[in-house]
Amino acid sequence: MLSGKRILLGITGSIAAYKSLQILRDLRAAGAEVDVVLTKTAERFVPSLTLQVFSCRPVHSDLFEHQHEMAHLSLAQTADLILIAPVTAHFISKMAMGLNDDLLSSLLLSSPAPVMIAPAMDLGMWGHPAVKSNVAQLKARGVQVIGPEIGPLASGKVGMGRFSDEKIIVSQVISHFSEAQPSLEGEVVMVTAGPTEEPIDPVRFISNRSSGKMGYAVAEVAKSWGARVVLVSGPTALPVPDGVDCYSVRTADEMKAEVARHIVSAGIVVMTAAVSDYRPSVFSSEKIKKTGKNYNIALEETDDILGGRPKGPQGQVVVGFAAETENLLENAQKKLKQKYLDLIVANDITQEGAGFDVDTNIVHLIDVHGEITPYPKMSKHRIAGLVLKKALALKTSVS
């Protein structure tokens, strides 16, 4: 998949640096030629000899080692892609400022190649305004940022900052080369994402395990393809992708109202939200106290937002999701018909690596013409790309 591609793998000084060994091996297994460039601090975390053996090439770290050969210039000119994984907060700030005081930062300044970075750092650092603004600057310059993810960190804390899974990073590199990027310029894409929360009393609610990752991935990819993106999101811990108009809601009713406002101007609608099907019939304005007896909560159905949506503009393409635990294709096909959809993304949430709160999914796409396409386990970003591509193809075939 990567044969003939030359990738410059930059590694900076993070505890996650040892994971770059697997990335190197996987890139090579996919056929890429990989040149490794280490920063001085990275050398303390990962042995350059090991990288040399796995890459079958010399590993570079010193700006002045090959002065006569102008190593930095030749590496910079021949790379098809620069991947820096992991990248630290320190190196991100150097990139944002355009500082070049070592080999890797000098290569970045002299290379025309596209750049991807996979950050790894503690949650406090990732949330710091300085890092946020540096990352935003890099994104604005076209640098693709992979992750980070929410999870356990080296500090013992749990939060946003964890280095993305090696497989996800490699799959993003593969999609970079394999998918010609379609344009959504001039298109409005509306996405629903996350769970809803249906309050029982001021401190309790009914919800589900949706993390919002699938919907946020659709929003991010649609934005990067040039669309104006409206994201209607239930409560999640995810940052809003740059340039996306996000409307935060809590309950199914609030989501319904926000969807009704925006769906009328959207050419493509992707409903990934895991909307609560039931809400408590009565909301107790006081905290419900323990009585020593069993307590039953009466539930009533919420409205089906997708099924009861207002009419959209001519040629609108509507995509639904079906998370199932049994009779996957049958149930998904039923939803496709009942909700008048153009496309449904069916996933069996009992499979490992599919469903809630993971970065991957295993899906079938079923379109309105009955075409069923199964896909292997993929990153949610890749699935987002497939869904949007298919939606665009359906839209073009209708209009």
Give the interface with ligand CTP as residue ranges (CB under 6 A): 192, 252, 271, 273, 275, 277, 302, 304-306, 320-323, 335
The catalytically annotated residue of 100, 134, 208, 361 is 208
Q: Is the peptide bond before 86 cis (omega within 30 degrees of 0)?
A: yes
Contact 205, 212 (CB under 8 A): no
Q: Is 327 a catalytic residue?
A: no
Contact 225, 388 (CB under 8 A): yes
To ligand CTP, the closest distance from the beta carbon of 305 in angstroms equals: 3
Closer of 211 and 302 to ligand CTP (Cβ): 302
To ligand CTP, the closest distance from the beta carbon of 366 in angstroms equals: 12
Query: Which distant-in-sequence residues (6+ apart) come within 8 Å of 312 by Cβ?
Result: 263, 264, 266, 269, 318
Please give the positions annotated as active site.
208
